[in-house]
Every structure is written in structure tokens, then in C-alpha cells.
């Protein structure tokens, strides 16, 4: 079984890697020092399991785990942490495994033996648990087989079209499969629903323009406009008035 070890502290990575490699049928195929490196290494080495530290500078383990779930064949994720805080209760509730540092060999073996690559239903359940703990700073999309990370602060709007959601951002567009309702729940303090099929970034709204039979939101820096439904018109008017 192929293992990716992720920890920002090299001594911790070295210790965990030695422990894994001492176990029959388990091999460390790559290491990473933060979440971004973890995504890169996961795509190149194809691990079965990722042993992931939670608290790391830059992209932490929780963010990285959610992005790893977007891979075509996502690995199982086992968190490692020195902090027995509230997050661990959520992991237990949703069957996301974790190891407390210092990791013991017996507990590591037990976790690895119990790990299996998650199916889509399990991934969805895991991501719901992680969303309760931490709001994402990036949206992850698959583009020609590779993962692309889009900072949430760079997003103008989310627009649903059948099974996909278009994410318009400062560098272009990507498609994701997240439900608009779940995006609204996660980012409700930064995005506002203007239509059953659209959420707009409050930081990027430019204003509102009226036509013969509809109203539209305009944006700063781009020429795009999105229709406002009658149901959401009073709310967006109030928001724009206060900009």
C-alpha cells in the first residue's frame, strides 16, 4: 500500500516515514510539507493513503483533504495532530480517522489496516464534516485531469447550469460539481443569492442595472451581468445601496 506523509516539521515526517516503512506491505512513496505540496505529490505518486498533519502554515490539512477528494481516485485520509480539540469529535462522528501525536506504531497499523479508498458517498459525508470545522479558502476544480485551485477571494460568482456550477474568477472560468445550495451554506457571509441559479460575491458586486422586464447585477472589473429574480430583488437592492 502506497503512503503519502504530510507534515510541516521534517523530524515528524522522518519519524512517521520510518514507522510506515517498517510495516510489512506499506511503503512511503512521497512526502510533503504543506497542503499545496500534498496535492502535487498526490497527483504524481497516486497514494492509497495520506497521513496528513492538520495544523500547517499556508494550506492546512483540513483544506487539503477536501481538495484531495476531487481527484479521480481520491486516497483515504488519516489526520495526524497533537491537539485533541473539538475537530476530533467531528472526525469521529463522520468516520474520518485520526492519530494523536506522538503516533504509536500499533495505532498506526490499526488505522492503515482499516483504511480503504472512499466512495463518492463517503467523500460527500467527509466533506460535510470538514465544512463544519473550516470554511474553504480555495475552490478546487479538475481541468484536463489536473487539480486547479481558485482562491475564494478571486471569485466573482457561482452560476448553476444543470449538473455543473460555473465559477467565474479573475483568471477565467472553471466548472465544479458542488451544489449551489451547499456553496451558499458554506460561503453565505461572502456571497449572496440573486437567483435560483446564481450566487454573487459581495466584494465584487459593482451595482445594478434595470431593463424593460428584468434587473441585473453588474460587477467590478468585468463586463458580465447576471439576472436578479423578483424574489431576491429587495435583498440585493438593500445590499447595493449600502456598498
N residues, the chain: 243
pLDDT of residue 96: 60
Domains detected in the chain: 2-133 (3.40.50.2300), 139-241 (2.40.50.1020)
pLDDT of residue 120: 78
C-alpha distances out from residue 51 to 94, 137, 154, Å: 18, 21, 30
pLDDT of residue 210: 86
pLDDT of residue 193: 97
CA geometry: angle at 200 spanning 199 and 203, to 5°? 145
Those residues of the chain that have pLDDT short of 70 are 84-96
Residue 103 and residue 111 in contact, taking contact as beta carbons nearer than 8 Å: no
pLDDT of residue 68: 93
Amino acid at each position: 500500500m502506497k503512503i503519502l506523509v504530510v507534515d510541516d516539521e521534517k523530524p515528524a515526517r522522518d519519524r512517521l516515514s520510518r514507522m510506515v516503512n517498517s510495516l510489512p506491505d506499506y511503503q512511503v512513496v512521497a512526502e510533503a510539507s504543506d497542503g499545496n505540496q500534498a496535492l502535487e505529490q498526490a497527483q504524481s505518486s497516486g497514494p492509497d493513503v495520506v497521513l496528513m498533519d492538520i495544523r500547517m502554515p499556508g494550506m492546512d490539512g483540513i483544506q487539503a483533504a477536501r481538495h484531495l477528494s476531487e481527484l479521480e481516485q481520491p486516497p483515504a485520509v488519516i489526520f495526524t495532530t497533537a491537539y485533541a480539540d473539538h475537530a476530533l469529535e467531528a472526525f469521529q462522528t463522520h468516520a474520518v480517522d485520526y492519530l494523536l501525536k506522538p503516533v504509536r506504531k500499533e495505532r498506526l497499523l490499526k488505522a492503515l489496516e482499516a483504511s480503504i479508498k472512499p466512495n463518492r458517498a463517503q467523500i460527500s459525508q467527509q466533506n460535510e464534516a470538514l465544512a463544519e470545522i473550516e470554511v474553504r479558502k480555495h475552490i478546487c476544480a479538475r481541468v484536463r485531469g489536473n487539480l486547479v485551485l481558485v482562491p475564494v477571494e478571486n471569485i466573482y460568482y457561482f452560476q448553476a447550469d444543470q449538473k455543473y456550477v460555473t465559477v467565474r474568477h479573475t483568471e477565467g472560468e472553471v466548472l465544479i460539481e458542488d451544489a449551489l445550495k451547499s456553496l451558499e451554506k458554506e460561503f453565505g457571509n461572502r456571497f449572496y443569492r440573486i437567483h435560483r441559479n446564481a450566487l454573487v460575491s459581495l466584494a465584487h458586486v459593482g451595482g445594478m442595472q434595470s431593463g424593460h422586464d428584468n434587473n441585473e447585477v453588474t460587477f467590478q472589473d468585468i463586463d458580465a451581468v447576471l439576472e436578479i429574480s423578483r424574489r431576491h430583488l429587495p435583498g440585493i437592492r438593500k445590499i447595493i445601496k449600502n456598498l
